[in-house]
A = this chain, B = another copy of it.
Amino acid sequence: MSYIAERRVEEKERRRGEILDAAVGLYAEKGWDAVTMDQVARSARLSRALLYVYFRDKEELLYGIGARALAVLRDYFVAALGRGGTGREQVEAIGRAYMAYAQQFPHYFDVCARFQAHSVSPDPGSNEGACATAGDQAIGVVVAAIRTGVADGSIRPDIGDPMLLAVSLWAFTHGIIQLAMAKARDLNRLQISVPDFSEYAFGLLTSMTAAPKHS
């Protein structure tokens, strides 16, 4: 009796995943605005109307993708934690992980950018909650690395609230990547190569948190 119900739930979950797969694939291929629900339905081999059973509307589907994107990002951050020795190196590794992530999954970064730019709707029951949770976890990883750095002396002790620093670094790094990804053409017009810019800006960032040599 409840075997069945259980399997039903599983299959529903699996299908939900298939829809997301299809949507992500199309997103990566042509960008979100150019993706139609009909294409998603075809790609997932089901009728368009059924999509609306699984996702209230197109935006809800985007939130579903966002939850995935942020979960992957969090995993990248966690993996970066292991790469650095000192806390400061960990923070730097997280920053580089964000850049690598954006290069590897431009469409995921695009979702992040959308969330960064637009205020999320205050509907707590939906996929948006999953986004917020994954986002909080990601920022939590940064905070942990900062705390480590302050404790081991690799980060200036006067940085104040680690959460404030974490959010600031996030904003900065996000700004770098966004500009580097979207404005390659314009940067070149200003005689700037994209890797040069990224390295330069990132160098500025890391120098910011360094503990002074002679305390």
Say whether A201 contacts B132, CB under 8 Å. Answer: no
- A 96-119 binary contact with B (CB < 8 Å = 1; else 0): 000000000000000001001111
Interface size class of A (residues with CB under 8 A): 35 or more
**How many copies of the shown chain assemble into the complex?**
2
A47 on interface, CB distance cutoff 8 Å: no
Residue of B nearest to A110 (CB): B117
Instruction: State which of A16-24, A37-45, A68-76, A163-171 sits at the interface with chain B.
Output: A163-171
Q: How far is the CA of A182 from the CA of B121 in the complex (A)?
A: 11
A207 on interface, CB distance cutoff 8 Å: yes
Residues of B within 8 A of A154 (CB): none
Shortest CB–CB separation between residue A123 and chain B, in angstroms? 12
Shortest CB–CB separation between residue A115 and chain B, in angstroms? 8
Q: How far is the CA of A189 from the CA of B122 in the complex (A)?
A: 12
Instruction: State which of A5-13, A49-57, A77-85, A192-200 sits at the interface with chain B.
Output: A192-200
Residue of B nearest to A190 (CB): B163
Residue of B nearest to A136 (CB): B190
Say whether B179 contacts A197, CB under 8 Å. Answer: no
Q: How far is the CA of A68 from the CA of B187 in the complex (A)?
A: 22
A211 on interface, CB distance cutoff 8 Å: no
A139 on interface, CB distance cutoff 8 Å: yes
**A/B interface sample: 15 pairs, CB < 8 A:** A116-B182, A117-B117, A119-B184, A120-B186, A132-B186, A135-B186, A161-B200, A164-B197, A164-B201, A165-B204, A167-B187, A168-B201, A171-B176, A173-B175, A174-B175
